């Protein structure tokens, strides 16, 4: 997928190691999914 | 050699049943040659054409049923496991989901004809919550069409199949050797290709700890959630600030992705 994006001119791409499963496993914050749109309304700040 | 043909004539139904069951459960045992041979031998009426088709379809449905219930019970975990042991795990889950979304229940009917999809379609149907009666109807229809096609081909080209069968029994080891060599070459090509892509991406990966720290900065990277919509419905949460984009939407929506920000993407 990263290669596909690079082919479309998006070069600064980094895949998350372990994906969603590892983020969740480490107990890092998750926010409710907002259907369809950018979830940018969700808080960007992350508790330490 | 004639003993071998006679053995097939006597035990054809048992051989077909177990070969189909094993292959459809996901074991690397080819059952198509057995279906063709059984079709060719059906000319003598022992066993009958319908018996072989029914038996093969039943065995295939039985082989799939366990995966259907596993998908229903363990959801995406089963799909990920199946794709992990596939030769192309990077694209496996997404490609299969894409096929299922495009064709709906029809994917189950077509699945036996498409290598790889035949094992992955049943757990996908299970995790998507398809009712058992609908799943069984579609799966049995697909299995019957698939078995009917190969047994029918064996029946229609009985002389040629019998000739090939005799050849295979006579020169079996040489034919097997060539087939094995070709398979090894293909496998090697796929592994080299996969390793090349993996290495290219490996240097650019970001660790979760690093991302968490970066998300706290004044200008955080844009996080792109590439999970399938169905996975999101199963666990409707994303990373903070993530934008969801399914892989199929990339061609039409890639312009929404800002080029001046670093992009972190993740899937399941």
Contact at CB, A1 and B244, closer than 8 angstroms: no
- Model confidence at A38: pLDDT above 50: no
- CB atoms under 10 Å from CB of B38, counted, come to 30
Q: How many CB pairs under 8 A join A and B?
A: 130
pLDDT digits (tens, 9 = 90+) for B4-41: 566 777 777 888 899 899 888 877 777 888 888 888 88
CA B84-A39-A1 angle, 5° bins = 35
Contact at CB, A46 and B236, closer than 8 angstroms: no
Contact at CB, A5 and B265, closer than 8 angstroms: yes
**What's the confidence (pLDDT) of residue B205?**
82
Task: Look up residue B197 and give its two tokens.
Answer: 């892509």
Chain B residues in contact with A16 (beta carbon < 8 A): 205-206, 208, 211, 223, 264-266
Is residue B33 within 8 A of residue B162, CB to CB? The reply is no
CA distance B60 to B139: 9
Interface test with B, best of A3, A16, A22, A47 (most B CBs within 10 A): A16
Q: Residues in chain B with pLDDT < 50?
A: 1, 87, 90
Contact at CB, B240 and A9, closer than 8 angstroms: no
Top-confidence residue, B12 or A45: B12
**What's the confidence (pLDDT) of residue B94?**
63
**What's the confidence (pLDDT) of residue B59?**
93
Reference B267, options B79, B78, B95, B93; nearest CA is B93
- Predicted TM-score (pTM) of the model is 0.58
Top-confidence residue, A25 or B254: A25
Nearest beta carbon to residue A16 from set B206, B236, B240: B206
Top-confidence residue, A2 or B30: B30
Q: Cβ contacts of residue B111 below 8 Å, gap of 6+? A: B117, B118, B121, B122, B142
Nearest beta carbon to residue B240 from set A13, A20, A31: A31
ipTM of the complex: 0.73
- Min CA distance, A7 vs chain B (Å)? 11
Nearest beta carbon to residue A26 from set B208, B259, B266: B208
Which CB contacts under 8 angstroms, 24+ apart, belong to B44-48?
A: B44/B9, B46/B9, B47/B12, B47/B13
Range A35-43 average pLDDT = 44
pLDDT digits (tens, 9 = 90+) for B202-236: 557 889 999 999 998 888 899 989 887 777 877 88
Reference A38, options B258, B94, B204, B217; nearest CA is B258
φ, ψ at B264 (rounded to 5°): -115, 125
Nearest beta carbon to residue B240 from set A14, A16, A29: A29
Contact at CB, B257 and A10, closer than 8 angstroms: yes
Contact at CB, B216 and A46, closer than 8 angstroms: yes
- Model confidence at A45: pLDDT above 50: no
Range A6-33 average pLDDT = 85
**What's the confidence (pLDDT) of residue B4?**
58
């Amino acid at each position: 997928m990263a290669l596909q994006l690079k082919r479309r001119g998006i070069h600064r791409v980094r895949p998350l190691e372990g994906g969603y499963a590892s983020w969740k496993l480490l107990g890092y914050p998750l926010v409710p999914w907002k259907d369809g749109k950018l979830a940018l309304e969700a808080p960007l700040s992350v508790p330490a | 050699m004639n003993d071998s043909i006679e053995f097939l004539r006597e035990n054809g139904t048992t051989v077909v049943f177990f070969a189909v069951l094993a292959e459809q459960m996901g074991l690397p045992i080819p059952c198509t040659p057995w279906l063709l041979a059984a079709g060719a031998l059906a000319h003598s009426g022992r066993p009958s054409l319908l018996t072989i088709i029914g038996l093969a379809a039943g065995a295939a449905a039985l082989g799939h049923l366990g995966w259907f219930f596993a998908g229903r019970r363990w959801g995406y975990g089963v799909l990920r496991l199946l794709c992990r042991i596939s030769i192309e795990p990077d694209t496996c889950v997404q490609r299969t989901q894409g096929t299922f979304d495009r064709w709906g229940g029809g994917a189950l009917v077509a699945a036996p004809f498409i290598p790889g999809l035949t094992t992955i379609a049943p757990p996908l149907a299970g995790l998507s919550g398809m009712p058992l009666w609908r799943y069984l109807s579609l799966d049995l229809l697909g299995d019957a069409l698939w078995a009917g096609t190969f047994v029918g081909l064996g029946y229609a080209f009985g002389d040629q199949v019998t000739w090939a069968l005799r050849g295979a029994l006579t020169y079996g080891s040489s034919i097997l050797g060539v087939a094995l060599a070709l398979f090894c070459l293909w496998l090697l090509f796929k592994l080299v290709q996969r390793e090349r892509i993996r290495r290219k991406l490996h240097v650019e990966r970001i660790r979760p700890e690093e991302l968490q720290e970066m998300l706290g900065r004044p200008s955080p990277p844009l996080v792109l959630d590439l999970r399938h919509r169905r996975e999101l419905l199963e666990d409707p949460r994303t990373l903070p600030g993530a934008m969801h984009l399914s892989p199929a939407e990339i061609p039409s929506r890639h312009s929404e992705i800002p080029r001046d920000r670093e992009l972190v993407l993740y899937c399941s």
